Amino acid sequence: MVLFSQYHSQTHPLSELDTITRQYKNTGDLEGAMKFNVNALKKYEDEKNAEGTVRAHINIANLLCTLNRHKESLEYLDKAEKEIKKTKDPILRSRLYSEYGRNYALLKLLKQSNLIFDKAIGYAWKISNQKQRDYYLYYNYAWKWDNFDNMNELDSMHMMQRKCLKISSEPLLFVKIADQYVSRKIHLDSAEFYLNKALPLASTGKYPIRQKAMALLTFGNLYTEKKEYEKALDYYLQSLAVSEKMKSSSDIQEAYKAISRTYNFLDNKEKSVEYYTKYSLLSDKIAGDEKKALNIAVEKSLQEKEDEKNKFYLIILTIIILFLGIGYFIRKKYIQKHKESEEMIEEKSLETDELKKKINLSFDEVAQLARDNDPFFVTRFKEVYKEFYDSLISQQPNLTDHDIKICAYLRLDISSKEIAQYENITVRAVETKKYRLKKKLQLSADTDLKKWILEI
Return per-residue pLDDT of the chain as tens, 456 residues: 333 444 444 555 677 898 899 888 888 788 888 999 999 999 999 999 999 999 999 999 999 998 888 999 999 999 999 999 888 899 999 999 999 999 999 999 999 999 999 999 999 999 999 999 999 999 999 999 999 999 999 999 999 999 998 998 889 999 999 999 999 999 999 999 999 999 999 999 888 899 999 999 999 999 999 999 999 999 999 999 999 998 888 899 999 999 999 999 999 999 999 999 999 999 888 777 666 655 655 565 566 667 777 777 788 877 777 777 776 667 777 778 877 766 676 566 555 445 444 555 688 899 999 999 899 999 999 999 999 999 999 999 999 999 999 999 999 999 999 999 999 999 999 999 999 999 999 999 899 999 999 998
* Domain assignment present for 75: yes
Asked whether the beta carbons of 143 and 172 are under 8 A apart, the reply is no
Asked if residue 381 belongs to a domain, the reply is no
Q: Judge if pTM exceeds 0.85.
A: no
Q: What share of the chain is helix, strand, coil (3-state, %, to 5)?
A: 80, 0, 20
CA-wise closest residue to 96 among 128, 69, 65: 65
Taking the CA atoms of residue 278, residue 281, residue 282 and residue 285 in that order, the dihedral angle to the nearest 10 degrees is -170
CATH number of the domain where residue 72 is located:
1.25.40
Based on the structure, what is the number of domains in the chain? 1
Angle at 392 between CA 388 and CA 395, to 5 degrees: 145
Tell me, yes or no, whether 62 lies in a domain: yes
Q: How far are the Cα atoms of 54, 75, 184, 302, 409 from residue 379, in angstroms, in the given order?
A: 40, 30, 24, 32, 13
In a domain, 20, yes or no: yes
Report CA-CA distances (Å) from 133 to 7, 122, 137, 199, 246.
28, 11, 6, 26, 28
Domain holding 50, by residue range, is 1-87
36: in domain: yes
Asked if 157 and 149 count as a contact pair (C-beta separation under 8 A), the reply is: yes
Cα angle, residue 188 at apex, residues 185 and 191 outer, rounded to 5°: 110
Domain membership flag for residue 31:
yes
Domain-embedded: residue 336: no
- Asked if residue 439 is part of any domain, the answer here is no
